[in-house]
Amino acid sequence: MTNDDQRPSALETLDRDPSSRKRFLTAVGGTGATAAFGLFLAACGSDKKSSSSSSSSTTSTQSTASSPTEMFGKGDLGILGYALTLEYLETDFYKQAAKSGKLSGKVLAVAKQFGSEESQHVQALEGAIKKAGGKLPAKPKGQFPLKDEKSILKLAATVENLGASAYLGQAGLIKDKEVLAAALAIHAVEARHAAALNSVIGKDITPDGAFAVPMDAAAVLKAVKPFIAS
């Protein structure tokens, strides 16, 4: 992995190179992923009809603009650090929820399962950062209102929907295809968690309709700030 911001994003590279795209889609999801790729590009804001001059202008703007993920590192390392920080919070949330004494039975079992899966995301992202020679971000301490089962489930849905939107918001900015594959794999699980929780609390399983809405890092970090102990 390099931090050369002049490189096209991994999604742009895959969009332009059919053979590379085929290998990538086979690795992450087989032939069923091919039909979804164009839809994913649309959700991430990719536009194949853009002129070369417009594309160049956009690339230049993105390379000079400061991203909130840069507080965690440059380029893909910053995105990985940002994602890991969110996963730290999610893992801590489920750990605190399971220990709160407010959950029981199937709800408690699901909280432990989801927490275990978030912990595995943490391990994967930590491994990716170390492999790339980066430093792990500071682990935030979460503070969550855990009043009762109903409020915990509602907060869990909020957290998971944020996580899914956060990964989608970074997908079009990732340069390395291995990092993109990892992000897509985690995004899918976050979205499944969110859908299950949305159903339980009486919220639409797909609140944004047929296409998920990405969320930029600044908005996500602002949304999770109340859950970080000062």
pLDDT tens column, 173-214: 999 989 998 999 999 999 999 999 999 999 999 999 998 899
Residue 31's pLDDT is what? 41
Residue 15's pLDDT is what? 57
More confident residue, 173 or 61: 173
Q: How far apart are CA 57 and CA 64, in angstroms?
A: 11
Q: At what angle do helices 217-224 and 149-171 cross, to 10 degrees?
A: 160
Give this prediction's pTM. Answer: 0.77
In a domain, 4, yes or no: no
Convert the pLDDT of each residue in 27-57 to its tens digit.
Answer: 544 444 444 444 444 455 544 443 333 333 3
Check the CA dihedral 131-173-187-219 and report its sign: positive
Q: Residue 113 is part of a domain; what is its CATH number?
A: 1.20.1260.10
More confident residue, 34 or 120: 120
In a domain, 117, yes or no: yes
More confident residue, 10 or 126: 126
In a domain, 149, yes or no: yes
pLDDT band, residue 66 (cuts 50/70/90): confident
In a domain, 3, yes or no: no
pLDDT band, residue 5 (cuts 50/70/90): low
More confident residue, 66 or 216: 216
Q: How far apart are CA 137 and CA 149, in angstroms?
A: 31
Across residues 205-228, what is the average pLDDT?
A: 94
Q: What is the DSSP track for 108-157?
A: HHHHHHHHHHHHHHHHHHHHHHHHTT--PPP-PPB-----SHHHHHHHHH
In a domain, 111, yes or no: yes
In a domain, 83, yes or no: yes
Residue 83 · residue 69 · CB < 8 Å? no
The total of structural domains in the chain comes to 1
Domain that holds residue 79: 10-227
Across residues 143-155, what is the average pLDDT?
A: 97
Query: Per mean pLDDT, which range of 15-29, 51-65, 121-135 is the poorest?
Result: 51-65
Residue with tokens 């899914």: 164
